Amino acid sequence: MSLPSLLTQHIARRPQRIALLQHIAEQGSITRAAKAAGISYKAAWDAIDELNNLASRPLVERSTGGRGGGGAQLSAEGERVLRLYQRLQSLQTLMLEAAEESADLDLLGRLMLRTSARNQLQGQVSGLRREGRHDRVSLALAGGVEIEALITHDSTARLELTLGTTVVALLKAGWVQLLGGGEPAEAGSNVLEATVEQVLPDAQGPSEVRLELGNGQTLCAFAEGEWLVDRSIAEGSQVRAQFHPSYVLLGVPA
């Protein structure tokens, strides 16, 4: 199975994140790999989450251990990505030599879009249904997980979406709501079963909650500390994450 083009583009423009994979392979620890890469522990987690979500299968297999540790190793897919990166480095050298003006590189940089959305999930269009001015787009993520997006018909046409199209679903962390216990879900919302992977308290506001889905992909959400305490939600807790289809933004390779 070939590496998806979206992940390939990400590798080309964010080589430091792929270098992190090499450090994980060498160090066997997220903490030590982050130090070797010259980034924070949190930045390392963010990088791994993004890479895992963009790949067809997780690149890093890990076990949490708090801020002081946590074992980690590359999956077979992660090792394959590293080999690909080495080939891309050779191609990049050739491209830089071929660029006649610095403006060429500036243009390439503008074409490589980066986004502020914390959650980026790769999937394929598995269904399209017209609903007035909107289209309800069903997305098949890895491991049989499915979500829906609600976009305008014009957006569907502009993105040239058809069954099987590979897309990235973008979702801001603030749009993800956690549900605990028997709390009812909002009708029509996407509801995903998840395990709390990490809770990062913030004295200035809501806590950041990292969630692991059953397919190995991750979501980031925010929740008030008091809400988490009242429901005894901590690392390892089972929760549900809900978000309305209209909050799901879709992107395709240019």
CATH number of the domain that 189 lies in?
Answer: 2.40.50.100
Q: At 36, list the tokens.
A: 């070797």
Same domain for 254 and 147: yes
Beta-carbon contacts of 127 under 8 Å, excluding residues fewer than 6 positions away, are: 136, 137, 138, 163
> Do 72 and 185 lie in a common domain?
no
User: Whole-model pTM?
Assistant: 0.64
51: left (phi over 0), alpha (psi -120 to 50) or beta: alpha
For residue 35, count CB atoms less than 10 angstroms from its CB and return exposed for 0-12, middle for 13-18, buried for 19 or more.
middle
pLDDT score at 90: 64
Residues 6+ apart with CB under 8 A from 227: 178, 233
Does residue 136 sit in the same domain as residue 246?
A: yes
Q: In what order do the strands lie in the sheet with 134-140?
A: 146-152, 134-140, 119-131, 166-171, 249-251
**Nearest Cα to Cα of residue 209 among 200, 245, 217, 39:** 200
Residues 105, 129, single domain; the answer is: no
Phi, psi of 62 (to 5 degrees): -140, 165
Domain residues for the domain of 66 are 5-111
pLDDT tens track for 208-232? 999 999 888 899 999 999 999 999 9
Regions of the chain with pLDDT less than 50: 1-4, 10, 12-13, 66-68, 99-102, 105, 107-112
Q: Could you tell me if 72 and 120 lie in one domain? A: no
pLDDT at position 241 is 96
Supply the pLDDT for residue 21: 86
Q: How many domains does the chain have?
A: 2
pLDDT in the model for residue 68: 46
pLDDT value, residue 9: 52
**pLDDT for 105:** 47
Q: How far apart, in whole angstroms, are the C-alpha atoms of residue 58 and residue 51? A: 8
Phi-psi domain of 202 (left: phi exceeds 0; alpha: psi -120 through 50; beta: other): beta
